[in-house]
Structure 1
Amino acid sequence: MQNIENKVAYITGGTKGIGFGIARVLLESGLKVAISGRNIEDVEKAKALLGSDNVLAIQSNVSNFEDEVKAVEQIVTKFGKLDVVIANAGVGKFAPVDQLSLEDWNAMIDTNLTGVFHTLKATVDQLKAHKGYYISLASLAGTNFFANGAGYNASKFGVVGFTQAAMLDLRAYDIKCTTIMPGSVTSHFNDHVPSEEDAWKIQPSDLGEMVVDLLQMNPNVLPSKIEVRPARTK
């Protein structure tokens, strides 16, 4: 089992939901964590809730490459390195394709897909230097299309294809790449407010534990794509 204590992780979209849940579990597992979001007040609030000196709050919009470059600079200045990158930031806008606005299409592609590329592009030198791990959060919507999901499906199908191709490109540098494809998760996605009715769903901490399992796995093993669903339906 790999020792992951004192490794440094960067989580985009880390202020709530899946990203926040992963950040909490990684901190509990001995990692140092940087979390980012578009609104610095939200990021600082999340940092306070995590309650650790080993958290760095960063304002970054992943659709802006320069923001991600600056994020990496802040991480290296604070922690000295970067070992693990979790591209989690995402948005969802749902409508029939003939009614889907250009604004909503561009928001999903720019954040969910181009943002994933920006995050890897900005961090890849650190990942090469430390034989790191890059994890993207896709979705079962990255392999299962559905009505009203044309834009979201396109972005998540793209994330799956991008991460799998990146895995083939980067394993020559001993960088691991995995895409995690969750089904129903208790989160704030699409303005949802979590409640007790979400207890049957995957919890953000479950995905955090999955990330820890990946990081601790034998270096010779690479689960490159993981589909994960709730164990039961509602």
Structure 2
Amino acid sequence: MVNLQGKVAYITGGSKGIGYGVAQSLLKAGMRVAISGRSLKSVEAAARKLGNNKNVLAIESDVTKHKDEENAIKTILDTWGTLDVVLANAGVGIFAPIDEMSDEQWHMLIDTNLNGVFHTLKASLDALKKSKGYYITLASLAGTNFFATGAGYNASKYGVVGFTQAAMLDLRKYDIKVSTIMPGSVATHFNNNEPSEKDAWKIQPEDIGELVLDLLKMHPRTLPSKIEVRPSRPDKK
């Protein structure tokens, strides 16, 4: 997929943070990009910031609902006729000791972070088979490193890593590439953070965008299937 001009990408959770940063990078590379989120108002506002032209498509979709993702893929195919790249980026962060975590919080984490990547892949699979495309999940270093208050989040991200790696083995026979990106600290609104100068030491969303471009431009014979990425120098407290 060295020539990205005119290729079509779908990014879940694309209205801000990493998803928005990746959308910016892909558009600059000449791709057409659909972004989705649970709030159509937020997604449309992000699309306007991205340019709101014929190369940007705003879609309302809740990844916890398989039908929403099916409808999102249908909208993309009806608009552009193909789908080449999918970034399953939508996610939530809830952190609490296991004895304080509610049933609702647990299911929100698993339904969004883990079930969501399944729904997105299943909905896009036929299109990716036709295009011999690329499916990328946004996991986390929390998918290999556990920590106190992280039982629910760790479980979801460990699941994303395992799911993606197994899917990679299932789908490469169709010439579909599958990778998972596992970032450490990123300067986003995640966990109610408001990005500012205090986050300058962190990975920036556009850095993940460049990483995604690197993956897409990789020679077809080579697949970086699991990528850990972290700030080069941690914050000095």
TM-score range, shorter chain: over 0.9
Q: Cα distance, 1:4 vs. partner?
A: 1.1
Partner Cα separation in structure 2 for residue 12 and residue 128 of structure 1? 19
Residue in structure 2 matched with residue 163 of structure 1 by the alignment: 164
Q: Cα distance, 1:79 vs. partner?
A: 1.0
Residue in structure 2 matched with residue 198 of structure 1 by the alignment: 199
Partner Cα separation in structure 1 for residue 225 and residue 124 of structure 2? 19
User: Where do 1:129-208 residues align within 5 Å?
Assistant: 129-208=130-209
Identity %: 67
Q: Which runs of 4+ in 1 moved over 2 A?
A: none
Partner Cα separation in structure 2 for residue 194 and residue 15 of structure 1? 15
Q: Cα distance, 1:160 vs. partner?
A: 0.1
Q: Cα distance, 1:157 vs. partner?
A: 0.0
Secondary structure of 1:184's match?
coil
Size of the aligned set, in residue pairs, is 234
Give the TM-score normalised by the residue count of structure 2: 0.98
Q: Cα distance, 1:210 vs. partner?
A: 0.4
2:115 is aligned with what amino acid?
A: T
Give the TM-score normalised by the residue count of structure 1: 0.99
Secondary structure of 2:195's match?
coil
Partner Cα separation in structure 2 for residue 78 and residue 194 of structure 1? 34
Secondary structure of 1:197's match?
helix
Partner Cα separation in structure 1 for residue 183 and residue 192 of structure 2? 18
> 1:40 and 2:40 equivalent?
yes
Task: Tell me the C-alpha RMSD between the 2 structures.
Answer: 0.7
Secondary structure of 2:148's match?
coil
Residue in structure 1 matched with residue 73 of structure 2 by the alignment: 72
Q: Cα distance, 1:233 vs. partner?
A: 1.0
Secondary structure of 2:231's match?
coil
Secondary structure of 2:228's match?
strand
> 1:2 and 2:16 equivalent?
no
2:227 is aligned with what amino acid?
A: I
Unpaired runs of at least 5, structure 1? none
Q: Cα distance, 1:191 vs. partner?
A: 1.4
Unpaired runs of at least 5, structure 2? none
Partner Cα separation in structure 1 for residue 189 and residue 97 of structure 2? 23
Partner Cα separation in structure 2 for residue 168 and residue 78 of structure 1? 31
Partner Cα separation in structure 1 for residue 59 and residue 192 of structure 2? 22
Secondary structure of 1:93's match?
coil
Secondary structure of 1:86's match?
strand
